Amino acid sequence: MTFLIACLTTGKGTWNHVAQLMNSGSFEKTFLVTNAFGKEKFTSEKPHEFVLIKEDKALEEIIVDIVNQLHGKLSGWEVGVNLISGTGKEHMAIISALMRLGVGFRLVVPGEEGIKEI
């Protein structure tokens, strides 16, 4: 897996989980699906790119926003995905966007010895 896509919005302690995951592996590129607050407040020394969404939009609009921002940026067939942070609506949007982009994915979490697939 050379790419990581992680939801980074709501949930107590979930930002630390995402940061730990980013530090657990060497990803070619990390994309963080977040809102304006997340973009403003989240910091990491690891390189990353924000995929901005507005949670108050309809699900279909969020999906289109994610697809448009990721289009042409994912090479290869598989990415690691982490959905520990966020809401069901955001999770559905991310999964749907990846499917529309034709990208295979594996769910990943930080493990004791790097990244663990679940």
What are the tens digits of pLDDT across the range 43-60? 999 999 999 999 999 999
**pLDDT, averaged across the chain:** 93
How is the chain split into domains, by residue range? Answer: 3-117
Q: Which residues pair with 45 in a beta bridge?
A: none
pLDDT at 77 over 70: no
Contact between 74 and 101 under an 8 Å Cβ cutoff? The reply is yes
% residues pLDDT > 70 (the chain): 97
pLDDT at 71 over 90: yes
- We find that the CATH architecture of domain 3-117 is 3-Layer(aba) Sandwich (3.40)
Contact between 27 and 4 under an 8 Å Cβ cutoff? The reply is yes
- Cβ neighbourhood burial of 11 (10 Å; 0-12, 13-18, 19+): middle
Distance, CA of 86 to CA of 11 (rounded, Å): 6
What are the tens digits of pLDDT across the range 4-15? 999 999 888 899
- pLDDT: which is higher, 59 or 114: 59
